[in-house]
Amino acid sequence: MSRSLLTPGLQSWLQTHAQSLNADADAAQQVLAQLVQAGMHRIAVPQAFGGDGGEAIDAVDAIAQVAERSVTAAFVLWSHRAFIDYLCLTDNTAARELWLPDLLQGRLAGATGLSNAMKFLSQLEPLQVQARPDGDDGLRVAGKLPWVTNLRAPFVVAAAVQTPLQPAPMVLAIDSRLAGVERSADLDLLALRASNTAAIELDDVRVGQEAVLARDGLSFLKRARPMFLSLQCGMSLGLARASLQAAEQVGAARDVLHPRIDQARAELASLRETIREGLVSGRFVTDAPALFRVRLQLAAVVQESVQLELQGSGGRAYLRNHLPDFGRRLQESAFIPVVTPSLTQLQGELSKLASSAAAATPPAAPAPERAVP
């Protein structure tokens, strides 16, 4: 079990605001500021880049501990932290120097609009943002990012773009202060309503070389993927833990559920250890399916945990004035399967890999005839 990474101030703010962060956008402007004030976004950012240092798993634990209190806040932290990670990975020093200090200070929000790129990689849809050269060192960018979180102005968002220069996409960082960047109103979400989630329209936006996070977007996305997905796993770890704790607290009358609670806890601990080990060894860069499976298994543990909370609470879970946290967690849990890459996309990738592995395997030799005993 990891040490507590939350300040008492952040813990109490999350406790007080968890319901409202899910149900309305009233505190949307404060979420990132609260996380930044508590230093959650600096965890495991190399000290050489101005962060607090630490192991990659610490950043996953940070998101998990926030998610135990509020998945909305955890997803905002994920967006900001994932963008910071792109800046740590990029070879473009100008990009890092331009945006990282403001992201670490919380003066700028980081966002990642890469769900389209993930689907493009799986050949599910074309890229929705196009760029063409403009002068010696610039690009003109146009298109739409239909879903992006943490768009508290000013923000900078990562997007994969198609150019006529090469078939593979580039990854660009686009600053909201540039002419032609238009943020929609917040999307009318079922839950996570204070997450600053909106669409972005890019109308002939001019960017310079500092915006190019990676010319070879595919290899960059592969390198970014282990942290991107592991940080997402933090949301599942935290939400499942919160539900299991609630399920356990509902009383001795529910002893019948304890073996399932223990089993879910053991699975969470083991999956967290798999993430820790994979991040340390670098295994997930070459063996992405191992991490896909972890995310799928965690999503199943989240569903089981929320069910345990419901079954432990019984009818009271339906009374909003008795157990309001259950209703919130039920809604928050509906987000876990659709976070990019969604469970459908992950299952699709795994079944594609299984089919190509089967096609590459030579047909088995006919079984030798059994000797009659």
Please report, as a single letter, which amino acid is at residue 204. D
Quick one: DSSP state of residue 43?
Answer: B
Does position 355 interact with ligand FAD (CB under 6 A)? The reply is: no
Residue nearest to ligand FAD (CB): 348
Q: Answer yes or no: are the C-beta atoms of 67 and 239 closer than 8 Å.
A: yes
Closest separation between CB of residue 329 and ligand FAD, Å?
A: 15
Q: What is d(CA 307, CA 201) in angstroms, rounded to the nearest whole number? A: 39
Tokens matching residue 90: 């990029």
In the bound state with ligand FAD, the residue whose beta carbon lies nearer, of 76 and 244, is 76
- DSSP bridge pairs for 160: 171
In the bound state with ligand FAD, the residue whose beta carbon lies nearer, of 284 and 335, is 335
- Crossing angle between the packed helical segments 288-313 and 217-249, to the nearest 10 degrees: 20
Nearest CA to 59 out of 253, 306, 229, 209 is that of: 229
Q: What is d(CA 32, CA 104) in angstroms, rounded to the nearest whole number? A: 11
Closest separation between CB of residue 22 and ligand FAD, Å?
A: 11
Does position 192 interact with ligand FAD (CB under 6 A)? The reply is: yes
Does position 112 interact with ligand FAD (CB under 6 A)? The reply is: yes
Q: Answer yes or no: are the C-beta atoms of 159 and 113 closer than 8 Å.
A: yes
Does position 353 interact with ligand FAD (CB under 6 A)? The reply is: no
- What one-character-per-residue DSSP string does 66-103 give? HHHH-HHHHHHHHHHHHHHHHHHH-S-HHHHHHHHHHH
User: What is the β-pairing status of strands 198-207 and 138-148?
Assistant: antiparallel
Subset of 286-345 contacting ligand FAD (CB under 6 A): 335, 338-340, 342, 344-345
Subset of 208-227 contacting ligand FAD (CB under 6 A): none
In the bound state with ligand FAD, the residue whose beta carbon lies nearer, of 55 and 125, is 125
Does position 197 interact with ligand FAD (CB under 6 A)? The reply is: yes
Identify which range of 191-199, 235-243, 295-303, 309-317 contacts ligand FAD by CB under 6 A: 191-199
Closest separation between CB of residue 264 and ligand FAD, Å?
A: 24
Site string for ligand FAD, 72-111 (x = CB under 6 A): -------x-------------------------------x
Does position 122 interact with ligand FAD (CB under 6 A)? The reply is: yes
Site string for ligand FAD, 44-73 (x = CB under 6 A): ------------------------------
Nearest CA to 160 out of 199, 202, 116, 126 is that of: 116
Identify which range of 43-51, 114-122, 162-170, 305-313 contacts ligand FAD by CB under 6 A: 114-122
Closest separation between CB of residue 252 and ligand FAD, Å?
A: 38
Does position 189 interact with ligand FAD (CB under 6 A)? The reply is: yes
CA atoms within 13 A on the CB side of 136: 0
Read off φ and ψ for residue 203, nearest 5 degrees. Answer: -115, 90
- DSSP bridge pairs for 243: none
Angle at 97 between CA 36 and CA 145, to 5 degrees: 70
Subset of 135-154 contacting ligand FAD (CB under 6 A): 147-149
Contacts with ligand FAD, residue ranges (CB under 6 A): 79, 111-115, 122, 124, 147-149, 189, 192, 195, 197, 335, 338-340, 342, 344-345, 348
